A and B are shown apart, each in its own frame.
Chain A
Amino acid sequence: MTDRANVILVADDDEDILELVCLTLEQAGYETIRARNGEEALSLALRHLPDACVLDVVMPERTGLEVIEVLRDTEETTDIPILLLTATVREQDLPPGIEKQGQGYLRKPFSPRELQERAASMLR
């Protein structure tokens, strides 16, 4: 690990949850970039090239999955670890291929500690 804190892009259209996720990650020592919709998340990600992303699945403008698609197609961000936040309950409602190398999901509601653990393991 370098001295510089890892930067994580967080995108969620729910202001409270965006704040919660960021606070939780900052407590764990990460720097965060906040985005309130998919479009913003995408442009911030491409501009700042964060170390990881935490994206809500259901967002206006672009969904988390659409954002991932662009990120994976872009050379600089193609390997970036991404954690999706989903409120989906049923396995069958999860988008196919949500879980793969460098990519996972976390069901809402989650406990802050769980989020910190997942972030740590993502950036390991």
Chain B
Amino acid sequence: VDRRADLIGPLFIPRSRRRTVIVLAIAAVLYTAILIGRLSNSDEGNGILGLEVIPIALVALELGLLPGLGVAAASMCAVVVWALTKDISINVGEYLFRAAVYFPIAIMVGWGAGRLRGAEQTIATRERRLRSIVESSTDALVTMDANGRILAWNPVAEDLFGWSPDEALGRDLAELTMPPQVRELMREGKRRFLEEDDWSMIGVRFESRGLTRDGREFPIECSISAVRESDQWIFHVFGHDITERKAIEDERKRLASIVESTGDAIISFTLDGRITSWNPGAEQVYGYSEAEGLRMSMFDFVPPDRPDDVGPLLTRVRDGGRLDNVEFDRVGKGGRSVDVAVTVTPITNASGRIVAAAAIHRDISDRKRRERYLTAQHGATRLLAQVPDLDEVGPAILPMIGSAGSWLCAAYWQAVEKAGLRCTSTWTTPITRLPVSPANEGTLTERREGQLEVDWVIGEQANDLPSGEQAALGGLRTQIWVPVVVSGELFGAFQFFDRRQRDWDDELMGTLTSITEQISNYVQRRRAEEEVERAKDEFFGLVSHELRTPLTSIIGYGELLAESEADRLTEQGRKHLSVIRRNAQREMRLVGDLLLLVRIQEGSFRMELEDVDLYRVVEQAVEAARPAADKRGIELHTRADASPECAGDPQRLGQVLDNLLSNAIKFTPNGGRVAVSLTASDGVAAIEVTDSGMGIPEDEQQRLFDRLYRARSATASAIPGVGLGLTIVKAIVDAHRGRILVESEPGAGATFRVELPVQAKPPTTQEVTE
């Protein structure tokens, strides 16, 4: 390549034209010299004729045949004209004859030489051009002969395959650059071309595999051209690495296959909700084919009884918002409800404006259904704990399991003695009108011709249920009966309907069975409890009657004796009588306490609330306790800083003070001190009973209120009692919404403090000391 010409070309005449000019100039000079020679040697005109041949040949060489001929003709004419006019000794006839012989030869020689050079030049140019193409090509370009030997190897081929031209030239192309399986294909293709004239591989692009020097295979795109060169076919092979393109293509294919094969619905839609793409997953989730889906809008999937949630979503997307796994309930083909977790991403156009959105809807119906079943099961447990009447159990639970099972409508039938079943309750989805009603006659109100496609009875006792024909209503295709069997007898039955044919759902059936079992167990338990209740009532009757009737006699006769016959008794007799009466009273109180305690426990403890003057209550209790205190030399001190009133039962509050005082006196040594104080502040009245007894260890303080708990000191000192007093005190105080506290230091006495809510009254200070 003449790079110099390229660089400084504009300053010089281009090479070929320059040579033409030079050659023509030489021709002109020669011709001029010939003319001058002729002029000076006029006699020797013919002698120079031979010289004229040279410029003519040069012109023919540079300018071609016709200019050569022209120059030759002009030269002949000039000589002839000159010879005739100047009268020189020239034989015109001979000159013309010689010119006719020499000039054409000169022209032919010059022209031929010119053609030859031109052809050479063309070849060189073409080769240069070709080489520059080959060398600057971004494709690997390899030339091979019919035997597969490499004839040319460009730099790209070197880069691509790793072989330098020195190493590659002369080697077998297939061996060098192709993995084994491709080699055979290539050889076979070449054989078919050479032997069968099969051009199918020539001039087309195809993908193949290449092999590098270090043994790595890579995808390559090739094309082959065949050229006939001196009885030999040679082949130019172009190729380039398409690893990247393949990777991108593969990735695109992979993504496409994900979109095609995923079970998730992948839907794209415009900002007005119109659907623009719909993958097979969307068909799976919603039941609509791609053709159907593409005609729909995102608004079509909102359940009819639900407020629109797509509009706000679209607004959000328009503002660039996303949605990540948000749960929606949708409605699919045939009104089937579908729970989905939705992820939405805005789609922007080239200028970054949001023009659409892509959404992934994952079907989470199974999980949601399972959740609903669990909720129903727990709900049933909760409801059972709240339902007071056994007949209300079914109706209370019906809506919950109806909606949990996504039924269209449901009914509960109660077993009625001798009358079979009666429909006592129905349930239906908010958007459905129920074809069943809690009929007076207890039958389905509307009967149409039809056949149920699914008609199951879960569990036993199927014979007692109304037949499936009764449920063959218009449009309803599935009916399920779930009987509730208690102790082998039909208690009631749930009936569920659906418009579509339902497949057997183990989990649903498991849930229903478990709920009916729960109901059954509950009913059984309730019946057992009622039995216990009856037994308890009987026990109460016994205690009341059989225990209290003899006591009535003992107390009554004792009183009669003490009042009317006392003077006839001896001193000893009166003493004995008083022991009998005192103990009868004690037993009476004990029976009273026991009965009260049972009432508290069963929750039937009721008080008659009225305004109670707490000061009076305290005063009365102290007066009642005084004889017992006096007898043991115990000082009984009362201090009242207020006279609060509280809403309470005066007798019960009296009982509280009686018990606390009797305990205080019991646990105080002879000659000790018991103090009662009444104070009121901040809406709380506090009554404190303090003794100077042995005190209560801290670990015992809270257990004091347990039923039948007796302080260790009490047991140790043989202080009488059964351990009911404080339990009753606490129950009464609790019922008054008050509280009881105990403070004690062992050896330093104890203080029981009862706090009751009050309406505050102006304080009046009264002090009584005995």
Contacts and interface: CB of A to CB of B under 8 A. Distances in A.
B564 A20 contact: no
Contacts of B553: 14, 16-17, 20
Nearest to B599: A90
A24 B557 CA distance: 9
Given A58-B545, A89-B540, A90-B540, A110 B560 contact: no
A27 B564 contact: yes
Contacts of A60: none
Contacts of A43: none
A87 B544 contact: yes
Interface in B541-557: 541, 543-545, 548-549, 551-557
A94 B540 CA distance: 12
A72 interface: no
Interface in B534-580: 537, 540-541, 543-545, 548-549, 551-557, 559-560, 563-564
Contacts of B599: 89-90
B595 interface: yes
A108 B537 contact: no
A87 B553 CA distance: 12
Contacts of B606: 91
A32 to B, nearest CB: 15
B588 interface: yes
B257 interface: no
Contact of B556 (A24, A88, A93): A24
Interface string A3-22: 00000000000101100100
Nearest to A12: B549
A101 to B, nearest CB: 21
Nearest to B596: A89
Interface in A7-55: 14, 16-17, 20, 23-24, 27
Contacts of A58: 545
A97 interface: no
Contacts of B351: none
B552 A108 contact: yes
Contacts of B440: none
B604 A108 contact: no
B762 to A, nearest CB: 37
A27 B537 CA distance: 37
Contact of A20 (B537, B560, B588): B560
Given A90-B540, A108-B552, A109-B555, A23 B560 contact: yes
Which of A89, A108, A111 has the largest count of B CB atoms less than 10 A from its CB? A89
A113 B541 CA distance: 26
B543 A89 contact: yes
A109 B552 contact: yes
A90 B543 CA distance: 11
B interface, over-half SS: helix
Interface residues of B, number: 24
Contacts of A20: 552-553, 556-557, 560
Contacts of A91: 606
A109 B588 contact: yes
B465 to A, nearest CB: 40
Contact of B548 (A87, A90, A111): A87
B367 to A, nearest CB: 50
A92 B564 CA distance: 37
Given A20-B552, A92-B604, A112 B559 contact: yes
Nearest to B602: A90
Contact of B537 (A14, A17, A93, A111): A93
A14 B556 CA distance: 13
B604 A90 contact: yes
Contacts of A110: 552, 556
Which of B540, B556, B560, B599 has the largest count of A CB atoms less than 10 A from its CB? B556
Contacts of B551: 108-109
Contacts of A17: 549, 552-553, 556
A91 B556 CA distance: 23
A109 B540 contact: no
Contacts of A111: 555-556, 559
Contacts of B544: 87-89, 93
A93 B599 CA distance: 12
Contacts of B557: 16, 20
Interface string B672-688: 00000000000000000
Which of A24, A110, A112 has the largest count of B CB atoms less than 10 A from its CB? A112
A87 B544 CA distance: 5
Contacts of A109: 548, 551-552, 554-556, 588
A108 B560 contact: no
Given A89-B543, A93-B537, A14 B549 contact: yes
8 contacts: A16-B553, A17-B556, A24-B560, A87-B545, A87-B548, A108-B551, A109-B548, A109-B551
What are the nearest 8 A-B pairs in CB distance? A109-B552, A108-B552, A16-B553, A20-B556, A87-B545, A87-B544, A89-B595, A87-B548
Given A16-B557, A17-B553, A108-B548, 8 more contacts: A20-B557, A23-B560, A24-B560, A58-B545, A92-B604, A93-B540, A109-B552, A109-B554
Interface of A: 14, 16-17, 20, 23-24, 27, 58, 87-93, 108-113
Interface of B: 537, 540-541, 543-545, 548-549, 551-557, 559-560, 563-564, 588, 595, 599, 604, 606
